């Protein structure tokens, strides 16, 4: 890699030629050892939990409780089978047959929340990116300010309202509640993508007789398609992550996987193997999706504040 | 408008942005309304099980909080946890960012792998660690620690153990975020100051202290802002591991407000705690944003 902008020599192998040049081989040796140790530490810290949970999810109850913990065992898919079918060959208490339902709930709620946010967010972001009008900054600020409110301040009144309106324990109710997470995010992200489209292109289209709708449909949307895709994927991931809103506003029939996964604790015993399998299943869509949006994750997490 | 509205349609054009915003604003109203309702409840004695005791009590809930030992402890824990978590996470995150910025073998792979914990739902992260932190001898973490001569830790059963556990889990999940933003900052730094410092014979430590850190400060303040906001409100990890225990050792304001409203059904008091937490988040964020403006100005 040739040194470019930002490729400065901090902690690199570019050793300053000076009177200490005789110490260089020794220095290099120490440096290499340090780099190796740091690499191994970082790898173990990051990757080992995934490896261990994967191993745990493939163990039988006996292997899970073995002292000391074992790395060699006969792998079994019983825990995953238990998630789907609800029984584990009579080895110990039969459990949740409803995990597939939780997975489906997560899909429905996350897709619904993102679809609603994008449908409402595209025109809103277009207005905020391309028009000037009174209260524009105020509206943008109110949208952004939702990022500051602790969820409990929303969930207490929502819980009371939903009981009254019959929205408690419904997909619709959850999709609306999730707008607190996805809508401000979607509007700010789309706005930042729309603003990247050069004004000249839009002006050219207007000279050709495009109305505001034509500009949106023929210029803004096609040119920001990758940005919209990124916003959809990240919004989906944030919805999938949500735990606290459904914990209070959902019930047995509408729990998403995040709430479903903690159900393995509240029994007389913790079903470690099944819990491990459930965490793998709950995290998998995220890990796959994240590969697609790696470059945009920072932007997503800071709502477009950092690119 | 960047476009000059055609004559005669000026009136309609002025409404256009609001028309475009309408769907989002309707949804927004759907959020503002419950929030306003909750704010109102925080001034009432709303107790779900005793509906006829409902009345407007002005600031009683807020004043009562100060005399509530549980609330004072939760406030202390919220602030203390945030301070420690943010210092550890930003410190370690900076180290990781510097490491991954240096030209080391396998850098691209490391950068990609490092991101993984960020992608796991926080409550799932908590459950993963809960499995590893089993305090029996079958717990892998205790087993690994036994090799460096550390006795089995009662992770979630003791007060200190529970606090350390929550810290570790929160750090595992959020270190990638800090490292990622700071790494982005490092990659955007200009080259010239380093060349100048090198000509002056500055060593790596001097460069870090007098060139990198000052130039990086807007990014550092930014991660401080995001991490502080989220640490003040941490819920998922605590709920899934300790539920605020043992002995309320890990009860922060969000957990306490949850307990008041969803275990004891005292919605009025729970809401008052939620509002205090909100004010705390806003105050801290405001201070950090002012710092950010100053940092951004000084490096611009």
* Residue B61 located in a structural domain: no
* Chain A to chain B Cβ contacts (< 8 Å): 293
At B78 the pLDDT is 97
Q: Residue B30 and residue A176: Cβ atoms within 8 Å?
A: yes
Q: Are B56 and B44 in contact (CB under 8 A)?
A: yes
At B201 the pLDDT is 86
Residue A303 has pLDDT above 50, yes or no: yes
Q: pLDDT tens digits, residue range B118-158?
A: 889 999 999 999 989 987 777 899 888 888 888 888 888 89
At A27 the pLDDT is 84
Residue A11 has pLDDT above 50, yes or no: no
Rounded (5°) CA angle B226-B227-B232? 105
Tokens of B147: 């090799």
Residue B38 has pLDDT above 80, yes or no: yes
- Using CA atoms in the order A126, A129, A133, A134, what is the torsion angle rounded to 10 degrees? 110
Q: Residue B105 and residue A66: Cβ atoms within 8 Å?
A: no
Say how many domains are in chain B: 1
Distance CA(A103)–CA(A292), nearest Å, equals: 21
- Counting other chains too, the contacts that A87-94 makes at CB distance below 8 Å and 24 or more residues apart are A88/A274, A91/A60, A91/A61, A92/A61, A92/A269, A92/A271, A93/A267, A93/A268, A93/A269, A93/A271
Name the residue facing A157 among B25, B38, B177 (closest C-beta).
B38
Tokens of A239: 């919805």
> B3 contacts in A (CB within 8 Å)?
203, 206, 212
Query: Which of B82, B114, B131, B175 is the best substitution to test chain A (most A C-beta atoms within 10 A)?
Result: B131
Q: What is the mean pLDDT of residues B98-123?
A: 90
Q: What is the mean pLDDT of residues B264-289?
A: 94
| Mean pLDDT of the residues in chain B | 90
Residue A252 has pLDDT above 90, yes or no: no
Tokens of A3: 């040194």
At B272 the pLDDT is 96
Q: Is the peptide bond before B223 cis (omega within 30 degrees of 0)?
A: no
* Residue B200 located in a structural domain: yes
Distance CA(A281)–CA(A284), nearest Å, equals: 5
At B260 the pLDDT is 94
Q: Nearest-CA distance from B162 to chain A in Å? A: 17
* Residue B46 located in a structural domain: no
Query: Nearest-CA residue of chain A relative to B116?
Result: A287
Q: Are A126 and B8 in contact (CB under 8 A)?
A: no
Task: List, in order of start, the domains of chain A with CATH numbers.
Answer: 21-85 (no CATH), 99-301 (1.10.3720.10)
Q: Nearest-CA distance from A121 to chain B in Å? A: 6
> A45 contacts in B (CB within 8 Å)?
172
At A96 the pLDDT is 52
Q: What is the mean pLDDT of residues B38-61?
A: 91
Query: Which of A7, A8, A295 is the best substitution to test chain B (most B C-beta atoms within 10 A)?
Result: A8
- At B44, give phi and psi (nearest 5°): -120, 170
Residue A13 has pLDDT above 50, yes or no: no
Host domain of residue B259? 68-299
ipTM entry? 0.89
DSSP three-state, residue B56: strand
| Predicted confidence band of residue A22 (pLDDT cuts 50, 70, 90) | low
* Residue B26 located in a structural domain: no
CA distances for A279 relative to A241, B12, B120, angstroms: 12, 53, 9
> B96 contacts in A (CB within 8 Å)?
42
What is the pTM assigned to this prediction? 0.90
Q: Residue B117 and residue A46: Cβ atoms within 8 Å?
A: yes
Q: Nearest-CA distance from B64 to chain A in Å? A: 18
Q: What is the mean pLDDT of residues B49-69?
A: 90
Q: pLDDT tens digits, residue range A96-134?
A: 568 889 999 999 999 999 999 999 999 999 999 999 998
Q: pLDDT tens digits, residue range B188-222?
A: 888 888 888 888 888 888 888 888 999 999 899 99
At A60 the pLDDT is 87
Burial tier of A56 (Cβ tally within 10 Å: 0-12, 13-18, 19+): buried
* Residue B219 located in a structural domain: yes
- At B74, give phi and psi (nearest 5°): -65, -40
Residue A91 has pLDDT above 90, yes or no: no
| Mean pLDDT of the residues in chain A | 85
Residue A306 has pLDDT above 90, yes or no: no
Is any Cβ of chain B less than 8 angstroms from the Cβ of A143? Answer: yes
Q: What is the mean pLDDT of residues A47-57?
A: 94
At A266 the pLDDT is 60
Residue B247 has pLDDT above 70, yes or no: yes
% of chain B surpassing 70 pLDDT: 95
DSSP three-state, residue B44: strand
Tokens of A59: 């163990």
| Predicted confidence band of residue A12 (pLDDT cuts 50, 70, 90) | very low
Q: Are A279 and B123 in contact (CB under 8 A)?
A: no
Chain A residues 162-221 with a CB less than 8 Å from chain B: 176, 179-180, 183, 187, 199, 202-203, 206, 212
% of chain A surpassing 70 pLDDT: 86
Distance CA(B112)–CA(A50), nearest Å, equals: 15
At B157 the pLDDT is 87
Name the residue facing B104 among A35, A69, A240 (closest C-beta).
A35
Q: pLDDT tens digits, residue range A129-175?
A: 999 998 888 988 888 888 889 999 999 999 999 999 999 999 999 99
- Closest to B261 in 3D by CA, of B270, B274, B272: B270
* Residue B171 located in a structural domain: yes
Is any Cβ of chain B less than 8 angstroms from the Cβ of A85? Answer: no
Name the residue facing B24 among A121, A237, A276 (closest C-beta).
A121
Which domain CATH number covers B93?
Answer: 1.10.3720.10
Q: What is the mean pLDDT of residues A251-267?
A: 84
* Residue B202 located in a structural domain: yes
């Amino acid at each position: 890699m040739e040194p470019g902008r930002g490729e400065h020599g901090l902690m690199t192998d570019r050793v300053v030629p000076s009177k200490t040049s005789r110490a260089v081989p020794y220095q290099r040796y120490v440096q290499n050892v340090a780099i190796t140790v740091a690499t191994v530490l970082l790898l173990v810290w990051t990757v080992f939990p995934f490896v261990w949970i994967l191993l745990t999810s493939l163990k039988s109850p006996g292997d899970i409780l073995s002292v000391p913990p074992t790395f060699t065992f006969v792998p079994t898919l019983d825990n995953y089978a238990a998630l789907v079918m609800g029984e584990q060959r009579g080895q110990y208490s039969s459990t949740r047959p409803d995990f597939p339902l939780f997975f489906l709930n997560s899909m429905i709620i996350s897709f619904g929340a993102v679809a609603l946010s994008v449908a409402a967010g595209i025109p809103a972001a277009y207005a905020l990116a391309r028009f000037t009008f009174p209260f524009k900054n105020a509206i943008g600020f109110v949208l952004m300010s939702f990022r500051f409110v602790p969820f409990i301040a929303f969930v207490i009144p929502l819980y009371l309202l939903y009981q009254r309106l019959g929205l408690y324990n419904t997909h619709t109710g959850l999709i609306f509640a999730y707008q607190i997470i996805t809508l401000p995010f979607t509007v700010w992200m789309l706005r930042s993508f729309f603003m990247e489209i050069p004004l000249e292109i839009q002006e050219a289209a207007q000279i050709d007789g495009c109305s505001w709708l034509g500009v949106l449909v023929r210029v803004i949307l096609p040119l920001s398609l990758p940005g919209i895709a990124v916003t959809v994927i990240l919004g989906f991931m944030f919805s999938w992550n949500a735990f606290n809103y459904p914990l209070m506003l959902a019930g047995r029939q509408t729990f998403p996987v995040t709430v479903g996964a903690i159900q393995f604790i509240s029994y007389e015993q913790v079903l470690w193997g099944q819990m491990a399998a459930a965490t793998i299943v709950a995290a998998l869509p995220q890990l796959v999706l994240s590969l697609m949006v790696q470059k945009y994750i920072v932007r997503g997490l800071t709502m477009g504040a950092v690119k | 408008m960047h476009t000059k509205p055609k004559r005669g349609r000026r009136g309609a054009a002025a409404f256009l942005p609001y028309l475009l915003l309408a769907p989002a604003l309707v949804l927004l109203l759907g959020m503002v309304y419950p929030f306003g309702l909750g704010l109102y409840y925080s001034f009432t004695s709303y107790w779900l099980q005793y509906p006829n005791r409902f009345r407007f009590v002005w600031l009683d809930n807020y004043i009562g909080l100060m005399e509530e030992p549980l609330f004072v402890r939760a406030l202390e824990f919220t602030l203390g946890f945030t301070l420690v978590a943010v210092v550890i996470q930003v410190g370690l995150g900076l180290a990781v960012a510097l490491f991954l910025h240096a030209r080391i073998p396998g850098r691209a792979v490391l950068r990609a792998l490092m991101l993984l914990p960020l992608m796991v739902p926080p409550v799932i992260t908590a459950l993963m660690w809960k499995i590893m932190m089993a305090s029996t001898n079958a717990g892998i973490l205790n087993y690994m620690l036994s090799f460096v001569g550390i006795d089995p830790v009662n992770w979630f059963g003791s007060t200190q153990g529970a606090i350390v556990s929550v810290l570790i889990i929160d750090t595992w999940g959020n270190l990638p975020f800090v490292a990622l933003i700071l790494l982005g900052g490092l990659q955007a730094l200009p080259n010239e100051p380093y060349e100048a410092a090198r000509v002056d014979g500055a060593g790596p430590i001097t460069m870090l202290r007098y060139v990198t850190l000052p130039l990086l400060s807007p990014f550092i303040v930014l991660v401080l802002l995001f991490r502080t906001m989220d640490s003040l409100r941490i819920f998922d990890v605590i709920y899934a591991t300790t539920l605020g225990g043992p002995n309320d050792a890990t009860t922060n304001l969000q957990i306490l407000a949850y307990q008041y409203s969803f275990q004891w059904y005292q919605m009025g008091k729970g809401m008052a705690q939620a509002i205090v937490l909100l004010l705390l988040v806003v105050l801290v964020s405001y201070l950090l944003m002012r710092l950010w403006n100053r940092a951004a100005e000084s490096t611009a």
